[in-house]
């Protein structure tokens, strides 16, 4: 694997030569990417090419890896002090008059924590983005705190991380790791990694893997025991830090960073539902967060603007919400905006969508746009999907919310009534999932689909046959999609609100009655829902929580949760309840 268009140079330091690659305009801010173990600089290729249009991007093979030379003797050749010398040599060569923005993954992050906390690098680092690699000093203090003041929770954290660090113990054994990496493990590692991490492509890692991994074992031997047993007490970051935590990391617990604000006062947190190798599996999101953070630091505002409850999870992500002009759709769009997402508000009411987008921009959204589309119109949705992908990018979270209400007995519901409610409530969801879900799947970097169903999906009612059927279909569609898309890292959630105070009651149709009676029933339903007083903002919070926790089915209101339990355990009683006359 090569970095297309990269300019290479050799940098000498401490008796070795480092292979350095550069992309982008050297006159722009420099972003330096430091790889981990057992990788080489090519692990960053997907991220680097995405950053090169905005920044001067620098990558280098850590000593003993890739096309950099190997220190001799190996013992003592990989200390953090010598790695710091290497960093300064590269920084002086590629950006002599300007501090660099440092980005590290795995052991690249471990050593970068050293760079950003020692005095001799002050003024050379403008910012630091850390992924899947803690400071050994901070880790040492984390262990000491849990051992000096043990509680069941702290002991559990200590034992849990100890189990995750099994490979560290093996790498300290003499000779065995080198034999394994230069033998069967080195041959099988690419396939193991692709299967475990769902890595795209077949050309990763690089051909130098066996020797890289054998040499890199000394990163652990030269540093881990000495630093964990005697951690520095002055390991404070002297530059703004962005921490990106993949929540599915098999090697590092997110609890390792619980007290990180103590060591990094200017800290921005991000979380990602992914495994360890996010530079390969989530390059779009990683590059986006690096871009936002570096740009903010360059503009003198390192802290993120969004302060919502889930800002660490959704900051900068692209979220599309249908039916966003009012009710649950508008509340959901604004909740994602508060979390710092980029929001696309879609509705057939273009003016209403524009108002929601304007509110989203005022409420903390990184950006917000309004689009006019009828979700029941297949061609309109195809044009929308093409426009969104072209102008804004692939959607990270899709919320299929648009829906209409219809009440009346089965025999009073005409074929045309059925078509209208199914076209919006079911086909609108199908169009969204098919078009935007396909884009997520083709991108291969995960995502999440939220379909707004209803408690009516599992609560039979003689007054809501068409509406309940449409929502039951949405619920089953969501379950089927969840099963199919799990292998692609795409979550699917069905949200089942109950009686929520929105304008669906004032726009719902009632079959089998004249216009005046329909209006009377609409007003009565609206009063009933108003008295219930359950706000759409609570449903929006359930939507965000469902995405964060990857929940399958989420009954929201107390009555929705109660009906869900009855559907599972007392279905006969639920059917009897369905014979009652209920408001929409």
Structural contact between residues 93 and 66, judged by C-beta atoms closer than 8 angstroms: no
What count of residues does the chain have?
584
CATH, residue 402: 3.40.50.720
- Which of 298, 331, 351 terminates a domain? The answer is 298
**Considering the domain boundaries, does residue 128 fall inside one?**
yes
Residue appearing with tokens 């997520």: 440
| For the chain, the helix, strand and coil percentages under 3-state DSSP, each to the nearest 5 | 50, 15, 35
Task: Write down the pLDDT at residue 302.
Answer: 66
H or E element that contains 103: strand 100-105
> DSSP letter string over 459-484?
S--TT-HHHHHHHHHHHHHHHHHHHH
The verdict on 233 and 160 lying in the same domain is yes
Q: Helices then strands (H, E): number in the chain?
A: 23, 17
Are both 401 and 526 inside the same structural domain? Answer: yes
Residue 102 belongs to domain with CATH number = 3.40.50.1820
Provide the 10 A C-beta neighbour count for residue 527. Answer: 12
Residue 135 falls inside a structural domain: yes
Does 304 fall in a domain? Answer: no
The secondary structure element, H or E, covering residue 509 is strand 509-510
For residue 500, the model assigns a pLDDT of 75
Instruction: Give a yes or no: residue 583 inside a domain.
Output: no
| pLDDT (tens place) for every residue of the chain, 584 residues total | 457 788 999 999 989 999 999 999 999 999 999 999 999 999 999 999 999 999 999 999 999 999 999 999 999 999 999 999 999 999 999 999 899 999 999 999 999 999 999 999 999 999 999 999 999 999 999 999 999 989 999 999 999 999 999 999 999 999 999 999 999 999 899 888 888 888 766 556 678 999 999 999 999 999 999 999 999 999 999 999 999 999 999 999 999 999 899 999 999 999 999 999 999 999 999 999 999 999 999 998 765 555 678 999 999 999 999 999 999 999 999 999 999 999 999 999 999 999 999 999 999 898 999 999 999 999 999 999 999 999 999 999 999 999 998 888 899 999 999 999 999 999 999 999 999 999 999 999 999 999 999 999 998 988 889 999 999 999 999 999 999 999 999 999 999 998 775 666 666 677 767 777 667 766 666 666 666 668 999 999 999 999 999 999 999 998 899 999 999 999 898 888 778 765 54
Q: Is 572 inside a domain boundary?
A: yes
In a domain? residue 72:
yes
Give residue 405's pLDDT: 84
| Residue 102, both tokens | 């440092």
In the prediction, which pLDDT does 584 show? 47
Model pLDDT, residue 335: 96
Dist. CA 543–CA 560, nearest whole Å: 15
Phi, psi of 364 (to 5 degrees): 115, 0
**Element of type H or E holding 92:** helix 80-94
How confident is the model at residue 193, as a pLDDT?
87
Asked if residue 582 belongs to a domain, the reply is no
**Does the annotation mark 467 as catalytic?**
yes
Does one domain contain both 219 and 325?
no
| 356/480 same-domain check | yes
Helices within 366-511 (DSSP H only): 378-391, 415-422, 428-443, 465-485, 504-507
**Rounded Cα gap, residues 146 and 131, in angstroms:** 23
Q: Indicate the pTM of the whole model.
A: 0.88
Please pick, among 60, 204, 458, 467, the residue that the annotation labels catalytic: 467
Residue 2 inside a domain? The answer is no
Helix intervals (H) in 103-231: 107-115, 136-148, 152-164, 166-171, 176-182, 184-197, 209-229
**Do 191 and 66 sit in the same domain of this protein?**
yes
Q: Are residues 283 and 320 in the same domain?
A: no
How many domains does the chain contain in total?
2
290 and 319 part of one domain: no
**pLDDT score, position 574:** 86
Rounded Cα distance between 119 and 77, Å, is 22
- Claim to verify: residue 289 and residue 343 sit in the same structural domain: no
CA–CA dist 273, 445 (Å, integer) = 10
**357 lies in the same domain as 459:** yes
Domain match, 270 and 331 both? no
Give exposure, 338-368, as e/b (b: 16+ Cβ within 10 Å): bbbbbbbbbbbeeebbbbbbebbeebbbbeb
User: 3-class SS at 491?
Assistant: strand
**Domain-ending residue, one of 275, 298, 321:** 298
d(CA 357, CA 476): 31
pLDDT at 463: 85
Contact between residue 463 and residue 562 where contact means Cβ atoms under 8 Å apart = no
Token representation of residue 356? 């929601």
* 161, 255 contact by CB (below 8 A): yes
Contact 553, 560 (CB under 8 A): no
| Residue 76 falls in which region: left (phi positive, over 0), alpha (psi -120 to 50) or beta | left
Domain range for residue 132? Answer: 7-298
CB 319 within 8 A of CB 341: yes
Q: Are residues 114 and 225 in the same domain?
A: yes
- 121, 124, 128, 131 alpha-carbon torsion, rounded to 10°: -60
**Dist CA 123 CA 402 (whole Å):** 52
Q: Which of 240, 272, 298 is the last residue of a domain?
A: 298
Q: Could you tell me if 531 and 432 lie in one domain?
A: yes
């Amino acid at each position: 694997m090569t970095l297309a268009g990269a300019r290479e140079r050799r940098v000498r330091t401490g008796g070795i030569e480092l292979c350095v690659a550069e992309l982008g305009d050297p006159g722009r801010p420099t972003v330096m990417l430091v790889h981990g173990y057992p990788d080489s600089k090519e692990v960053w290729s997907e991220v680097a090419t995405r950053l090169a249009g905005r920044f001067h991007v620098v990558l280098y093979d850590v000593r003993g890896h890739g096309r950099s030379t190997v220190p001799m003797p190996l013992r003592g050749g990989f200390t953090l002090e010598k790695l710091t010398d290497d960093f300064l040599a590269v920084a002086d060569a590629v950006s002599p008059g300007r501090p660099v923005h440092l980005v590290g993954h795995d052991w690249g992050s471990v050593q970068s924590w050293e760079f950003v906390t020692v005095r001799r690098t002050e003024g050379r680092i403008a910012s630091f983005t850390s992924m899947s690699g803690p400071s050994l000093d901070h880790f040492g203090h984390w262990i000491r705190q849990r051992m000096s003041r043990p509680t069941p929770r702290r002991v559990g954290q200590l034992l849990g991380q100890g189990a995750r660090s099994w490979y560290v113990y093996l790498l300290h054994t003499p000779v065995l790791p080198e034999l394994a990496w230069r033998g069967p493990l080195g041959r099988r590692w690419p396939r193991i990694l692709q299967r475990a991490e769902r890595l795209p492509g077949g050309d990763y890692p690089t051909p130098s893997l066996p020797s890289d991994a054998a040499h890199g074992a000394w990163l652990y031997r030269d540093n881990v025991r000495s630093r964990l047993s005697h951690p520095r007490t002055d390991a404070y970051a002297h530059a703004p830090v962005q921490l990106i935590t993949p929540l599915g990391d098999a090697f590092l617990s997110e609890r390792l960073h619980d007290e990180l604000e103590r060591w990094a006062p200017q800290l921005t947190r991000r979380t990602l539902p992914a495994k360890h190798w996010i530079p390969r599996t989530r390059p779009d999101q990683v590059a986006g967060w690096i871009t936002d953070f570096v740009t903010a630091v360059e503009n003198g505002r390192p802290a993120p603007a969004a302060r919502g409850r889930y800002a660490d999870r959704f900051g900068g992500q692209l979220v599309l919400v249908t039916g966003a002009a009012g009710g649950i759709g508008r509340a959901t769009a604004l909740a994602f905006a508060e979390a710092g997402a980029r929001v696309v508000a879609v509705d057939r009411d273009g003016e209403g969508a524009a108002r929601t987008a304007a509110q989203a921009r005022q409420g903390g959204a990184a950006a917000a746009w309004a689009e006019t589309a009828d979700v029941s119109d297949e061609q309109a949705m195809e044009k929308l999907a093409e426009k969104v992908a072209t102008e804004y990018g692939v959607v990270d979270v899709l919320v299929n919310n648009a829906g209409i209400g219809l009440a009346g007995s089965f025999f009073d519901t005409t074929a045309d009534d059925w078509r209208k409610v199914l076209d919006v409530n079911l086909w609108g969801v199908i169009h969204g999932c098919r078009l935007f879900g396909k884009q997520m799947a083709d991108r291969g970097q995960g995502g999440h689909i939220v379909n707004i169903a209803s408690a009516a999906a599992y609560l039979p009612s003689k007054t809501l046959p068409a509406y309940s059927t449409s929502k039951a279909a949405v619920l089953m569609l969501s379950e089927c999609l969840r099963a199919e898309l799990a292998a692609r890292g795409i979550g699917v959630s069905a949200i089942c609100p109950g009686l929520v105070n929105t304008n669906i009651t004032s726009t719902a149709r009632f079959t089998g009655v004249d216009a005046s009676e329909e209006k009377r029933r609409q007003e009565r339903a609206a009063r009933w829902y108003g008295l219930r007083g359950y706000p759409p903002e609570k449903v929006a919070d359930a939507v965000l929580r469902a995405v964060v926790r990857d929940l399958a089915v989420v009954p929201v209101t107390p009555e929705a949760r109660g009906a869900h339990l009855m559907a599972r355990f007392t279905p006969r009683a639920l059917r009897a309840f369905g014979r009652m006359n209920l408001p929409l």
